[in-house]
């Protein structure tokens, strides 16, 4: 009986270790941000290494997600994009929705959606395989990662403090991204460098 149980015990331990490793594979604040290269909505390629020397914001997004809609329909994200641009920060959207899943778009559709919403990211990375999303441990839309000019991750987490789809909550919430940008502009460390993201799950394949 013991011999029959051993393989099951081994498998249980294996899957626990595997799950633990995956959960802890996401990048840590104050550590180098994972490098990536991905197809861009404008037909080019976005390579993180090429942006060394600049602050970069990665915004995981899904235009069909009600939590994302809250922040675009209220103008919140557009305002943050302008705040970032004024500081010379490179804002990149990342779309990790797989083909056939909610939020999947091609480059032309992504560009049209941004024009219609008045959004002004520097570019949109099309991550339909989910490789970049999994590299960063992205779990939600919206979700944000901020990388400093030295290539170090200095923020990861949510957009603000109120997890709802109600646009009226935007004005009442603590805006983590705006606060982070202000800290960076003043040369200070980001006060809240890791927060809990909320929103729709990233629509990976499978």
- Chain center to CA of 12: 32
CA-wise closest residue to 57 among 202, 173, 190: 190
Domains and CATH numbers, the chain: 25-201 (3.40.30.10)
The tokens describing 143, both together, are 């979700």
Per DSSP, the chain holds a count of helices (H) and strands (E) of 6, 9
When pLDDT is averaged across residues 67-74 and rounded to a whole number, the result is: 99
pLDDT one-digit tens code per residue, 121-135: 999 999 999 999 999
Average pLDDT over the chain, rounded to an integer: 91
pLDDT one-digit tens code per residue, 26-39: 899 999 999 999 99
Q: How confident is the model at residue 25 (pLDDT cuts 50, 70, 90)?
A: low
When pLDDT is averaged across residues 43-53 and rounded to a whole number, the result is: 99
Residue burial 124-153, b: 16+ Cβ < 10 Å; e: rest: bbbbbebebbbbbbbbbbbbbbbbbeebeb
pLDDT one-digit tens code per residue, 75-92: 999 999 999 999 999 999
Contact 94, 123 (CB under 8 A): no
Phi, psi (rounded to 5 degrees) for 69: -60, -40
Is the whole-model pTM more than 0.85?
yes
């Amino acid at each position: 009986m013991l011999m029959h149980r051993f393989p099951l015990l081994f498998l249980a331990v294996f899957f626990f270790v595997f799950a633990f490793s995956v959960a802890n594979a996401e990048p840590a604040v104050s550590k180098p941000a994972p490098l990536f290269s991905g197809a861009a909505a404008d037909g080019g390629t976005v390579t993180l290494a090429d942006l060394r020397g600049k602050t970069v914001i990665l915004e995981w997004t899904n235009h069909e997600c009600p939590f994302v809609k809250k922040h675009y329909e209220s103008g919140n994200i557009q305002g943050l994009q302008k705040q970032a641009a004024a500081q010379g920060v490179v804002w990149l959207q990342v779309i990790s929705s797989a083909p056939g899943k909610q939020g999947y778009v091609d480059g032309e559709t992504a560009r049209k959606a941004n024009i219609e919403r008045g959004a002004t990211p520097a570019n949109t990375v099309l991550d339909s395989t989910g490789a970049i999303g999994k590299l960063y441990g992205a779990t939600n839309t919206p979700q944000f990662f901020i990388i400093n000019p030295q290539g170090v991750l200095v923020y990861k987490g949510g957009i603000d403090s109120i997890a709802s789809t109600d646009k009226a909550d935007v004005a009442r919430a603590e805006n983590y991204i705006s606060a982070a940008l202000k800290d960076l502009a003043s040369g200070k460390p980001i006060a809240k460098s890791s927060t809990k993201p909320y929103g729709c799950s990233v629509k990976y394949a499978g």
